[in-house]
Amino acid sequence: MITRLSVSPRDRTARVGRILDIGTGSGCIAVACAKAFPQARVDAVDLSPDALEVARRNVARHGVGDRLELLQGDVFGPVTGRRYDLIVSNPPYVSDAEMSALPREYLHEPDLALRAGGDGLDVVRRILEGAVAHLEPGGAIFVEVGDSDERLARAYPRLPFTWLEFEHGGGGVFVLISDQLA
């Protein structure tokens, strides 16, 4: 089932004060969030120092460094005690079996950015487990899981995932509201 969400630009910027990007990589999603929500503060977490160096350059290039903090660590580790209106993530979600079948162009990405265990859900599980403690009431989490969407829905049959549909194709992105995770 696809549920469509619609929020006017004025409403969205008024309600979003803090955003967390987990697994920021190059920082493109964190920078886009800082641009889309000009009054929000953004924390961007990544395990890789090399990725954070690229993100640092992108943050500077787009002039959002006064509101965007880059943090090295794993999932919620660097943001203990912080709460957010939005959590976004494009974490690793490729299973071990899928890794061996990936087209060559994907192999330019670090293994750390793609591989997520036997079923591809290792990192997503940790994000879901920690999200409740880090979302403000009424906050939302958006996570890309690619082709792992059916495995995720089977692993969490009680979670009412809303799967987003994009105008120009693509999928495998869900949204959940904080009270749906409780």
Specify the pLDDT at position 12.
47
CATH number at 164 reads 3.40.50.150
* Within a domain: 6: no
Tell me whether strands 162-163 and 41-46 are parallel, antiparallel or unpaired: unpaired
- State the burial class of residue 37 (Cβ atoms within 10 Å of its Cβ: 0-12, 13-18, 19+): buried
Predicted confidence band at 150 (pLDDT cuts at 50, 70, 90)? confident
Tens of pLDDT, residues 126-136: 999 999 999 99
Are the C-beta atoms of 61 and 34 separated by less than 8 Å? Answer: no
* Within a domain: 2: no
Tell me whether strands 135-144 and 173-177 are parallel, antiparallel or unpaired: antiparallel
How many domains are contained in the chain? Answer: 1
* Within a domain: 4: no
Residues in the chain: 182
Task: For residue 74, give its domain range.
Answer: 11-181
Is this structure's pTM higher than 0.75? yes
In angstroms, how far is the first alpha carbon of the chain from the final one?
21
* Within a domain: 3: no
Predicted confidence band at 170 (pLDDT cuts at 50, 70, 90)? confident
* Within a domain: 36: yes
* Within a domain: 1: no
142: closest CA among 181, 102, 96, 101? Answer: 181
* Within a domain: 68: yes
Q: How far apart are CA 117 and CA 92, in angstroms?
A: 9
